[in-house]
């Protein structure tokens, strides 16, 4: 039973996004609560920035970052080592027809955001330093009344 082109464009993409977000939330929860029996993994605070689902919803790629970016290399190893248990815990929470296979990648967007923030902060600081003194209301400071 084929889908017509119109359905093909919208349906799966919407579903992929919805399931991806559900997987992201439950994976975040599982990691935050330390449900996995691995003290090394539980010691880390891991942000799950995004989960992208394959079109058939069988593969979930989680983009993760340890808090403060410390232990990037370890985080992927630890998550992969516990993939089976994570998959079981996540799918139990979601009640999907089948448990998606979990893949893990480092989330580079956080780095870019931090870099952008740093650059913006420099601009703002420079602009503020060059601006004339103003009162809270934005009027030029008249000095003591």
15-65 pLDDT per residue, tens? 999 999 999 999 999 999 999 999 999 999 999 999 999 999 999 999 999
Instruction: Report yes or no on 51 lying in a domain.
Output: yes
Cα Dmax for the chain: 82
Instruction: Report yes or no on 136 lying in a domain.
Output: no
Q: How many domains does the chain have?
A: 1
Mean pLDDT along residues 91-101: 86
Residue 76 belongs to a domain with what CATH number?
3.30.300.20
The confidence score (pLDDT) of residue 35 equals 94
Residue 83 lies in domain: 5-128
Instruction: Report yes or no on 137 lying in a domain.
Output: no
Instruction: Report yes or no on 138 lying in a domain.
Output: no
Phi then psi for residue 32, to 5 deg, are -65, -40
Q: What's the rounded Cα separation, in Å, for the pair 78 and 70? A: 14
Mean pLDDT along residues 91-113: 84
116-143 pLDDT per residue, tens? 777 777 776 666 666 666 555 555 555 5
- For 16-51, give one letter per residue: b (16+ CB within 10 A) or e: beebbebbbebbbebbeeebbeeeebbebebbbbeb
The confidence score (pLDDT) of residue 67 equals 86
Q: What's the rounded Cα separation, in Å, for the pair 16 and 119? A: 34
The confidence score (pLDDT) of residue 96 equals 78
CA distances from 131 to 7, 63, 121, 122, 124 (A): 55, 41, 15, 14, 10
- Closest among 121, 38, 29 to 79, alpha carbons compared: 38
- Of residues 79 and 119, more confidence is placed in 79
């Amino acid at each position: 039973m084929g889908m017509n082109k119109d359905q093909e464009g919208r349906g799966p993409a919407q579903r992929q996004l919805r399931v991806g977000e559900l997987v992201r939330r439950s994976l975040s929860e599982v990691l935050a609560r330390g449900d996995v029996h691995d003290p090394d993994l539980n010691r880390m605070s891991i942000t799950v920035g995004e989960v992208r689902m394959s079109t058939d919803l069988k593969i979930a790629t989680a983009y993760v970052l340890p808090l403060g970016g410390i232990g990037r290399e370890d985080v992927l190893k630890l998550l992969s080592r516990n993939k089976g248990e994570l998959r079981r815990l996540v799918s139990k929470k979601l009640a999907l027809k089948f448990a998606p296979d979990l893949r893990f990648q480092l989330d580079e967007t956080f780095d870019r955001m931090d870099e952008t923030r740093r650059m913006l902060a420099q601009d703002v600081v420079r602009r503020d330093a060059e601006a004339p003194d103003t009162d809270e209301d934005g009027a030029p400071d008249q000095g003591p009344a």
